[in-house]
Structure 1
Amino acid sequence: MDFFNKVFKSSNKNKPASSDQEPNMQEKATTYMLDFDLPRPDEGDVKCVTVLIVGAGSRGMCYTYYAVNFPKRMKIVGVADPRSCTKETLKMMHRIDEDKFFDDWREAAELEKFAEAVIIATPDSLHKDPAIAFAKKGYHILLEKPMAVTPEDCCEIVNACKENGVILAVGHVLRYHPVSRKTRELLDSGAIGDIVHIQHMEPIGYWHFAHSYVRGNWRNEEESTFSLLAKSCHDIDLICYWMGNRRCVKVSSFGTLSHFTKENKPKGASSRCLDCSVEETCPYSAQKVYLNKGRVGNFGWPVSVVCNNGVHDIESLTDALKTGPYGRCVYECDNDVVSNQVVNMEYEGGQTAAFTMMAFTKDLGSRKTTIYGTKGELRCTGRGPIEVFDFVTNKETKYPAKIASFMPMHLSSHGGADYYLIDSFISAVSNNDPSLIMSGPDDTLRSHLLVFQAEKSRRENCVVHIDHDGQ
């Protein structure tokens, strides 16, 4: 499915030069609207794909809503998750047979194949074994990113999928976003000439970093993995996607854990936010991040993560903050992952790229990109529009993004990219067409290996030279 082959309604509008510009330096701005208001995917004759869910946390649960909204396209027929409350929720949502609920994915893998595809959204360090097991069973696989936490495990997963002839899609949702895809189309068309440099930043958001990487599941490398892999393999992959077939030949990286340490704990602060005398002056207070939202009835993410028993009320939330990990002082956690990191890359032909991951930002996930070319400059954010300035004509063209009007609310994360990913995966399986997958095994392995090399550079304080195998 090509989300960018319908560019419509262009209009020329005069744009006055700013006070520090020469007259006529930027004469006109042309605006194109990307037409993503496509036919609903359940229209017409389609084959319904049966799916097993392995790991029904935030990400696994998210993708099940595709089956709710498009029941002609996807049906959930099994769930492997140890939490009874989660299984009860999915049972009501999807009417799954009793004998297709499992506490452990191994129970499902021991059975004869009973679904066409599996969505694996277990914790990062637990991706490898189920991915290989279900590949050997012939299941097509949607695997949440990162695909694994070591280079060796990533290679094993890719090899298993290739050897067994199954489709592998990794959850690099950013590749599927309309803005990302249109950016690649513009670059390939020569809109800014030859790429010279890509500058890309991911603002994590100050409270989001505290939630996920100080208090949460990705706070500790031994329990999960390093933050560049857990959070920003998305972004390194996106840079590789925009660079096309060019191979990265050198990488360097620097990063530290800033602020969230015992040394920075405010005087008089408690070990828990709910009984802390300086809570009002702390931007990372659990009362601000979670409890205040619950008091007004907002039990969606991130509050939903705190009450892991499936009961979402103010009493359960308060109890969880009094005793659980999300009520801890951010200066007294067992976190050790870096909060800010830069990655510098050189590609074949001399093109360069620079990526910044930053915890301390107002914005949350609204990535910012500038791509410099020999004939122009391209700028975009995760929400659009794409702005292209042409050096030849001194004109700027804008491409605002328009997301499909039928976008399901539960699949609207990452600017709607969650929807585009799961829709592409289901289409690929339904039509037995791996070309519909934008984050397949080879490209994903290449960008993952680059992330591991960047982290090696950071740890060893060196420039890493990369061979043709990505090592």
Structure 2
Amino acid sequence: MIEAALLGAGGRGMFAYGEYARKRPNEIRFVAVAEPDEERRTRFAEQHGIPEERRFETWERLLAHPKLCRALLVCTQDNDHYEPTMRALEQGYDILLEKPMSTDPSEALAIARRAEELGRVLTVCHPMRYSPYFQEAKRIVDGGEIGRVMTVQWTENVGYWHQAHSFVRGNWRNAGQSSPMILQKSCHDMDMLQWLIGTECEAVSSFGSLSYFHEGNAPAGSAARCTDGCAVERTCPFSAIKWYYNEKTDFVQRAASISNKLEDRWEAIRTGPYGRCVYRCDNDVVDHQVVNLRFEGDVTVSFTMTGFTEENARTFKIMGTEGQIRGNEERNELEVKRFGGARRMYYPEQVEGGHNGADTMLMSEFVKQLERGAPASLTSGIVSAKSHLIAFAAEASRRSGRTIDMKEYIESL
């Protein structure tokens, strides 16, 4: 059994990885936690039987102690990944690191290189590689069912409610406080694309902006908060009263672990960040963005990330020299059509857990990797850093209006 410590008992640490340990105590056990929020720290510690002396307010205090266990899960906020990860690597921890690795491209590379130099396990949380759904897509591509991949259309449907929750009102609304949206949300997709295509990305161009979620689009009669007598609250699709108080109570846990008591929920949306009008927040990340990619072998990719969708799942079309694959993650459906030939439908195995079971499979592989002392079977820190650099390059292109040569970009770091 692997003993582990957790830095950051937020949504991912608490529910994705903490729940895995609770359901599989024979595989992994948390023996220490660092979390500045006392309620979350206490809750996680009590769930996992962590003694008082191993409950820390900050990651600095936890890492000030001699090595406490085998593994460390870094689930702090985006801007707080680099320093604790580097310090933990030096102390001998094997690490599961939430994405993004860092909000700085040079730091992402430095983390990956240092882990290799020290011979430490570094698994970055790109769980989609571990999803049975995308595993099946990879098998189809590598098996040659559609011939040689030439073109990919890939869409990250963020979902209108997810955009409002996470990227307008929530923790990832402001690039200076977290990271650019293309990095935070879509380094997953950059990783999936380089994995499925199987060659290096050569060039990147991108366009995108924050076009809708700002005060210029606030409806007449709207207020600073949904609870402040907003004249359009009842018909607004982004109403905080609708999402956090009345209908969508599953969002209560996601929104800063608000209590299930109605009076507490009301107070949270009356005074907290999730009760603000979506047109009057301090958000600055894009609400839609496109990225064009060229990979080795003349493979071209058109990637779209948008917050203006009803669905909240990836859709894609992979086009090869002998056929095509259409994918809809939400329906767990893969359609393969060979040119002038058969049409096949695939419905991959579904596994319990977040991201359609991908979180479960990621944790399972991380534990197995530590137990067998072998390199990761699906990815590595260096590979993850490369996909991060594609996202960084896309943001550089969006801001500059230039096409980014990836070789030159990496050398400039």
Return the match for 1:250 from 203, 208, 213.
203
Cα separation, partners in 2 of 1:307 and 1:340, compared to 1, 3 Å: closer
Residue 320 (structure 2) pairs with residue 373 (structure 1): yes
Task: Point out the more displaced range, 258-267 or 89-98.
Answer: 89-98
**Distance in 1 between residues matched to 2:77 and 2:407, nearest whole Å:** 30
Which of structure 1's runs of 4+ aligned residues deviate more than 6 A? none
Structural mapping, 1:30-429, within 5 Å: 48-62=1-15, 63-244=17-198, 246-274=199-227, 275-293=229-247, 298=249, 300=250, 302-308=251-257, 311-364=259-312, 366-383=313-330, 384-391=332-339, 394-404=341-351, 407=352, 412-429=353-370
Q: Percent identity?
A: 38
Give the structure 2 partner of residue 31 of structure 1.
none
Aligned 8 A contact 1:198 1:353 in 2: yes
Describe the superposition over 1:228-251 as per-residue Cα deviations: whole angstroms up to 9, x where unpaired.
00111111111111011x111111
Q: CA deviation at 1:293?
A: 3.0
Identify if the C-alpha distance between structure 1 residues 318 and 72 changes in structure 2 by more than 3 Å, giving closer, same or farther.
same
Structure 1 residues 469 and 137, CA gap change in structure 2 (3 angstroms): farther
Whether the aligned pair in 2 keeps the contact of 1:378 and 1:389 (CA below 8 Å) is yes
* 3-state SS in 2 of match to 1:210: helix
Alignment check: 8 A CA contact 1:195 1:371 kept:
yes
Cα RMSD, aligned residues only: 1.4
2: CA distance, partners of 1:435 / 1:153: 21
Amino acid at match of 2:253: S
**Which of 1 and 2 has greater Rg?**
1
Task: Supply the distance in 2 between the matched residues of 1:255 and 1:331 (Cα, whole angstroms).
Answer: 18
Map Cα deviations across residues 336-381 of structure 1 (whole Å, 9 max, x no partner).
10000000001111111111001011011x1101100000111112
Secondary structure class of the residue paired with 1:357: strand
- 1: distance between equivalents of 2:27 and 2:326? 36
Amino acid at match of 2:194: C
Q: 5+ unaligned residues in a row in structure 1: which ranges?
A: 1-47
Secondary structure of 1:283 counterpart: coil
What SS does structure 1 have at the residue aligned with 2:220?
A: coil
Q: Offset of 1:194 from its aligned partner?
A: 0.4
1:307 positional shift: 4.8
Count of paired positions: 408
Matched to 2:79, the amino acid is S
CA distance in 2, matches of 1:413, 1:115: 26
What one-letter code is carried by the residue in structure 2 that aligns with 1:96? I
* Matches of 1:128 and 1:57, distance apart in 2: 18
Q: TM-score, normalization: structure 2? A: 0.96
The SS at the match of 2:376 is helix
Distance, in Å, in 2 between the alignment partners of 1:307 and 1:196 is: 43
Looking at structure 1, the residues matched to 68 and 245 of structure 2 have their Cα atoms a distance apart, in angstroms, of 42
Native 8 Å contact 1:306 1:321 kept in 2: no
Measure the CA separation in 1 of the matches of 2:408 and 2:25.
44
Question: What is the CA–CA distance in structure 2 between the aligned matches of 1:178 and 1:466, rounded to whole Å?
Answer: 30
Residue aligning to 1:433: 374
- Specify the code of the residue in structure 2 equivalent to 1:320: A
How far apart in 1 are the matches of 2:273 and 2:376? 42
Counterpart CA distance in 1 for 2:221 and 2:410 is: 50
Query: Matched residues in 1 for 2:269 and 2:44: separation?
Result: 26
Distance 1:281 1:441 in 2: 46
Asked if structure 2 preserves the Cα contact closer than 8 Å seen for 1:183 and 1:386, the reply is yes
Distance in 1 between residues matched to 2:120 and 2:139, nearest whole Å: 28
Instruction: Supply the distance in 2 between the matched residues of 1:470 and 1:191 (Cα, whole angstroms).
Output: 34
Q: Which moved more, 1:223-232 or 1:438-447?
A: 438-447
**Can you give the 5+ residue segments of structure 2 that lack an aligned partner in the other structure?**
none
Partner Cα distance (2:2, 2:240) in 1: 41
Task: Indicate if the aligned counterparts of 1:67 and 1:73 stay in contact, CA closer than 8 A.
Answer: yes
Contact 2:136 2:348 (C-alpha < 8 Å) held by counterparts: no
Which SS does the other structure have where 2:44 is aligned?
helix
Shift, 1:466, TM fit? 1.6
Match of 2:388 in 1: 448
Give deviations 1:148-194, integer Å, cap 9, x for gaps.
10111101211221122110011111111111111111111111000
Given that 1:121 and 1:144 are in contact with CA atoms closer than 8 Å, whether structure 2 keeps it comes out as yes
Q: State the shift of 1:311 in Å.
A: 3.2
